[in-house]
Chain A
Amino acid sequence: MKPAAAESVTRRLIAPLGESSLAFFSYLGGSSLLLWQILIGFGALPWGRWVVNLALPWRWKVLRNDRKWQLVLDQMEKVGVASFPLVFLTSLFTGMVLALQTAYQLQKISAQLYIGALVALSMTRELGPVLTALVIAGRVGAAITAELGTMRVTEQIDALHTLSTDPLRYLAVPRIVALGVMLPMLTFYADLIGILGGYLVGVYKLGIGSSLYMNMTWNSLRFKDFFTGLFKAVVFAAIISTIACYEGFETEGGAEGVGRSTTLSVVISFILIIAADCFFTALFYFVFP
């Protein structure tokens, strides 16, 4: 091979690698920067006052008139309350399927008794947080990116700037706070509903005694099972909201651009959620055995 040809081959092979790693690191940098700025905006919110107001029922009226609190509440409603039916269905069926599938296996060794423990542990440690996060990334993350992306391409984000309002404070912070609070809550519900699904199958289909099933469930659960699941949920919430806001703010190119960044937002969130789940499961496994 001639040197010139070799060089061109090397160039063809290496250059795209360089470009894509450059793109990767600029993405990583950009989204981390966004998260950092959000956390700063987060700190700038009047947290202390909120906590005091939240603790005193007769001060709730003040909170209701607080515009920033109102923004967060609106998002909590959109993100959390409105997602509940979907999370309910997903986790109920997952719990039922889990009970049936394990029954199929455990029947062979006459160990159906352990279905309760198995369902409870898999729901709280793994399926509750991960399935809820994936459902929310698809339902809420996509909606956030599409909304912010549309605002970007119709110059509404620019308009916020001209009205001396920081889009990060006005748009991103309420969403990340709302997701950070609501995703763990939804996950907690998903855990309980999944266990309920397993119970329905275990007791009414497989004929395990009701109190026996409940005993197997509660005796197998430890606080750390719930806790590690909820901890994961907080991490997943940060992933979903950061990626969704970043993709939204970085949208360009009209309707097509909004579609592109919405797809990217969901895809990247999915990958990061699975990767983070693997990482934290391993971490908890070795750190808190």
Chain B
Amino acid sequence: MIEIINLSKTFNSHQVLDGANLDIRDGETMVIIGRSGGGKTVLLKHIIGLMQPDAGQVIVEGEEIFRLTPEELGRLRLKFGMLFQGAALFDSLTVGENVAFALREHTPMGEEEIQERVRECLELVGLKGVERQKPAELSGGMRKRVGLARALAMRPRVILYDEPTTGVDPMMADVINRLIKQLHDRLKVTGVVVTHDMVSAYKVGDRIAMLHEGKIIQVGTPEEIRGTSNPVVRRFILGISDNGEAKVS
């Protein structure tokens, strides 16, 4: 479904991705773990073509996305939904208009049909009657769920989640984890989750990949990762810092 091949990216002489390779299968939920600032979000943004790599490629259903024209890329992106870390809702629009955004832009659907779909998507993420509110009136957890509803509106085949549980309380994190699991089980969407929350990683992941110093150093099922012998991965999942000292980067 999605192949990431030798992806490299440098920001101001800081090598963020250094030949990352990863193969994401159709219908699975792939969790990418790694340290904050370690390039997980950058990797995710390359998958949907929000960033251009210095080298390497991403192939989605046989199409090399960095070679596509803007129109072709736009068409391809309709198959994707993305949940941003801060939800990235359009704050000039209401919740309903946010969720309906892609429907109004890209489908010939009538107003009633759109409202129906909006209600359905909001219900799927456990929200009701918030269509007329502005994003600023919502709590962080609600905003994330609206962001997810917006990502779901076009019935995408792939959903990219950027730190879905960061910045929400543990119970809301559990609600979001369950949602991701549900989408995977019921709608059979492919998921790519970027997180450093190991509770979430074990709960939602079919497979987990560890990104370290710009490379994917291990890929495996949650059980395999739990029982890994790789010292870097072990230290990360158990939450032990290098040499027991706080390393500031």
> Interface segment, A54-62, A122-130, A158-166, A268-276?
A158-166
- Asked if residues A155 and B104 are in contact (CB atoms below 8 Å), the reply is no
Q: Are A164 and B78 in touch, CB under 8 angstroms? A: yes
Q: Are A163 and B85 in contact (CB under 8 A)?
A: no
Give the residues from 186 to 219 in chain B that come closer than 8 angstroms, CB to CB, to chain A: none
Whether the pair A155, B77 counts as a contact (CB closer than 8 A) is no
Q: Which residue of B lies closest to A151 (CB)?
A: B90
Closest to B82 in A: A162
B75 in the interface, Cβ–Cβ < 8 Å?
A: yes
Please measure, in the bound complex, the distance between the C-alpha atom of A163 and the C-alpha atom of B70, giving whole angstroms: 13
Task: Write out the residue numbers on chain B whose beta carbons fall within 8 Å of the beta carbon of A164.
Answer: 74-75, 77-78, 102, 105-106
User: Once bound together, how far apart are the Cα atoms of A67 and B106, in whole Å?
Assistant: 12
Contacts of B151 in A (CB 8 A): 162
- Residues of the B chain whose Cβ atoms lie less than 8 Å from the Cβ of A155: 84-86, 88
Contacts of A162 in B (CB 8 A): 48, 50, 77, 80-82, 151
A105 at the binding interface (Cβ < 8 Å) = no
B236 lies within 8 A of chain A by Cβ:
no
User: In the complex, A161→B45 CA distance in Å?
Assistant: 11
Q: Check A154 for interface membership: any CB of B closer than 8 A.
A: yes
- Would B90 and A161 count as touching, CB distance under 8 A? no
Residues of A within 8 A of B90 (CB): 151, 156, 159
Closest residue of chain B to A161 (Cβ to Cβ) is: B50
- Report how many residues on chain B are interfacial, defined by Cβ distance under 8 Å: 26
Interface size in chain A (residues, C-beta < 8 A):
13
- Chain B residue numbers with a CB within 8 Å of A67 are 104-105
Residue in A156, A159, A161 with the greatest tally of chain B CB atoms within 10 Å? A159
CB neighbours (8 Å) of A159 from chain B are 82, 84, 88-90
- A28 to B85 CA separation, bound complex (whole angstroms): 33
In the complex the two chains form, what is the Cα distance from A154 to B105 in whole Å? 22
Let me know if B50 and A154 touch, CB within 8 A.
no
Q: How far is the CB of A196 from chain B (nearest CB, A)?
A: 36
Please provide the chain B residues from 67 to 110 with a CB less than 8 Å away from any CB of chain A in the complex: 70, 74-75, 77-78, 80-82, 84-86, 88-91, 101-102, 104-106
* Assembly CA distance A67 to B97 (angstroms): 12
Are A158 and B105 interface neighbours, CB within 8 A?
Answer: no
Min CB gap A178→B, angstroms:
15
For A146-189 the 0/1 string (1 means CB < 8 A from B) is 00000100111011011111100000000000000000000000
Q: Shortest distance in angstroms between A174's beta carbon and chain B's nearest beta carbon?
A: 12
A residues in contact with B74, CB < 8 Å: 164, 166
| Closest CB in chain A relative to B114 CB, distance in Å | 12
Question: Residue on B with the closest CB to A65?
Answer: B111
- The minimal Cβ–Cβ distance linking A206 to chain B, given in whole angstroms, is 49
A150: nearest chain-B partner, CB-CB: B91
Task: For the complex formed, measure the closest distance between the CB of A223 and the CB atoms of chain B, giving whole angstroms.
Answer: 41
Complex-state Cα separation, A163 to B88, whole angstroms: 12
Complex Cα gap A164–B48 (Å)? 10
**CB neighbours of B106 from chain A (8 A):** 164
The residue from A151, A156, A166 contacting B70, defined by CB atoms under 8 A apart: A166
Most B Cβ at <10 Å: residue of A67, A155, A164, A165: A164
15 A-B pairs in the complex with CB atoms less than 8 angstroms apart: A67-B104, A155-B85, A159-B82, A159-B84, A161-B49, A163-B77, A163-B105, A163-B150, A164-B78, A164-B102, A164-B106, A165-B101, A165-B102, A165-B105, A166-B74
